[in-house]
Structure 1
C-alpha cells in the first residue's frame, strides 16, 4: 500500500467512526485497516487515535495530521487528475453553483454546450439564491453577482452587474414618470429583501439624509420581482442581464438613469477555492464561462 492509501484509510476510519465501517467502504478487512493505522502510528512514533469500547477519537497529534492529510490528499488527487487530463480528453465531475435567475439565463446554456463538447465531463449544478460554502460543501466553482466581499476565494470578474430602475409602461402611464429619486417615496417600489432606501438602489442625495423607497411588493427572488414589474405592479431595480430583452422590446422602461450609479450593482464573478493544483476541466469550464459572458457583455 502507498502513503496515499494510508491517508485514505485513516480518513475513512475518522469519517466512518470505526475500523469495521471503514473496511466496508474501502473493501478491506477490519484487521487490514487496523494494521495499516497501527503501522502509520509506529512510523510517526505518535498515537493518532484513542480507542475505547464505545468510540474512537483523535489525539491532538491525530487531529493535526488528519487536517493536513485531507489537504495533501486533495492536492495529490487533483495533480494526478490534471496529469491524466493532459494525456486525454477532459473527464471527471465539476460541482458548480449559481444564483437562480443568473444561472437559468446565463450559466445553464454554456454549461450544456460545454458538456456537448466534452461528453465525459459530468456537471453537478446547484441553482440557489443562498450563499454556498464552496469549501465546506465541496464545490469547484460559483457564479455570483453583486459586490464581492473580502474572501479567501479566488475570483475572476466576468462582467459588470449594471442594475436599472425600471417600470412597465402601463404603471408609468397611470402613476407618472419620476423625475427625481425622492419621488420614489410616493411610488410602489418592488424590493429585493431588505432594500428600503434610495441608497440601496444606488441613488445618492446631495442634501444628506436617507429617503425611503415607497412601499410595495417585497421578495427574495429577482425573477419574482421581474414578473411583478412586468405586470405593472411598480418600479424595481433589476439587473440588466435579466431585463435587457424587456428593455429592447419596450415591455419595461428605464427611469431615473441620470441619477443612478452604474457601478452600484457590483459585478458578476466566477469564484473558486484556492488550490495548488486546479484540474484542467475546471480551468476549461472557467474559461468557457468567461467567453460566454464576454459575448453578452453590454457595458
Structure 2
C-alpha cells in the first residue's frame, strides 16, 4: 500500500505542532486517531519516522528526509488544485500590484491590455514605489521585487531574471570614447544610484573580483531617471535588460565592456501573502507575468 496525502498531512501536523495531542486539537481528531495514522504510515513505509516516548518525540534520519519531501509534495498538490480551479472559475475582484516604476513601465504596462482582455473581471490597481513597501500597510496583494530577497515571512515566486549591462549613448561615446578596460571607467562620467549602495557595484570582472564599486559623478534614485540621463549623453550607467533592450535594439544605447561583464542576472520575484480568497487572482496574474517575462528574462 502507498502513503496517502491525508497521512502526510497528519505526519507534518505532528512535527509542526510539536506533539500528537497538539496536532489532534488542530485537526479536530483524537490523539489515538493521530497515533494510529502515524503507525499506519510507518508500516507502509517500512521505517520508523519518529522515536516517541511519553515525554518527547524525535525525528529519525529517515523522518527528517520524509518530512522535507512530504511538505514539498503537499505544496505541489495545493498549487495543482489551485491551477485546476482556474479552469472552472473566473478570477474576479480588485488586484493591487506594486512595482518599481521602471519595471512597471517597461515590463508590465505593455502587456496590461492583453491581461485585461483575458481576465475582464479583475480590477487592476497598479502602484509604483522604488522602495520596499509593507504589503499590509499599503493594502497590496502582489509586489514585484528586483534583486536578492531579504528573509521574509512573505511567499515569493520567481518570475525569472534579467541581465545587467553597462551602457552609454552613441553621442557620449563619440565625445568621450569607449572604455577599453574596467579601470578606464575612472576617467568617465558614471551614472549611479543615490540610495541603494549595492546597485553601484557593477558586474565587471577585474583583478580584484567580479564586482566593481563605482564612484558616480551623477546619481538618481530611479533607474528610469538613469536611463533617460544615459540616453541624453550624460554618461555610462548599469541597468537591467528588461528596461533597456528596446533602447539597445533602436541604437539609443550601446553596450560597453561586454567582454568584462560577469554575466550576473538580477532575480525578479513576486511576493505576496497567502490568502485563499485572493489565490485565483494572484495565481493567474503570476502565471501571466511569468509567461510574458520569458522573452527577456531567460
**TM-score normalised by length of structure 2:** 0.64
- Kindly report the root-mean-square deviation, in angstroms, between the aligned alpha carbons of the 2 structures: 2.9
2:227 paired residue number: 226
CA separation in 1, counterparts of 2:123 and 2:195?
Answer: 37
Is the CA contact 1:198–1:212 (under 8 Å) kept in the aligned structure 2? no
Structure 1 position 115 matched with structure 2 position 116: yes
1:176 is displaced (CA, Å) by 1.5
Is the CA contact 1:197–1:213 (under 8 Å) kept in the aligned structure 2? no
2:164 paired residue number: 163
**TM-score normalised by length of structure 1:** 0.64
Is the CA contact 2:167–2:253 (under 8 Å) kept in the aligned structure 1? yes
Aligned residue pairs: how many?
215
After superposition, the C-alpha distances for 1:35-68 in whole angstroms (9 at most, x for unaligned) are: xxxxxxxxxxxxxxxxxxxxxxxxxxxxxxxxxx
Is the CA contact 1:195–1:201 (under 8 Å) kept in the aligned structure 2? no
CA separation in 2, counterparts of 1:262 and 1:218?
Answer: 24
1:297 paired residue number: 296
Is the CA contact 1:198–1:211 (under 8 Å) kept in the aligned structure 2? no
After superposition, the C-alpha distances for 1:104-141 in whole angstroms (9 at most, x for unaligned) are: 12112333322222222111211121211113333211
1:235 paired residue number: 236
Alignment of 1:154-233 (within 5 A): 154-194=155-195, 200-207=201-208, 213-233=214-234
1:181 is displaced (CA, Å) by 1.0
1:281 paired residue number: 281
CA separation in 2, counterparts of 1:212 and 1:150?
Answer: 25
SS in 2 for 1:143: strand
Is the CA contact 1:196–1:213 (under 8 Å) kept in the aligned structure 2? no
CA separation in 2, counterparts of 1:275 and 1:166?
Answer: 41
Is the CA contact 1:198–1:213 (under 8 Å) kept in the aligned structure 2? no
Alignment of 1:85-124 (within 5 A): 88-124=89-125
1:60 paired residue number: none
CA separation in 1, counterparts of 2:89 and 2:158?
Answer: 29
1:164 is displaced (CA, Å) by 0.5
CA separation in 1, counterparts of 2:253 and 2:181?
Answer: 19
1:20 paired residue number: none
1:16 paired residue number: none
Q: Cα gap change, 1:206/1:99 in structure 2, threshold over 3 Å: closer, same or farther?
A: same
CA separation in 2, counterparts of 1:198 and 1:139?
Answer: 25
1:150 is displaced (CA, Å) by 2.0
Is the CA contact 2:94–2:124 (under 8 Å) kept in the aligned structure 1? yes
2:79 paired residue number: none
CA separation in 2, counterparts of 1:212 and 1:193?
Answer: 14
Is the CA contact 1:166–1:238 (under 8 Å) kept in the aligned structure 2? yes
After superposition, the C-alpha distances for 1:214-234 in whole angstroms (9 at most, x for unaligned) are: 542210111111111111110
1:275 is displaced (CA, Å) by 4.0
2:23 paired residue number: none
Unpaired runs of 5+ residues, structure 1, are 1-81
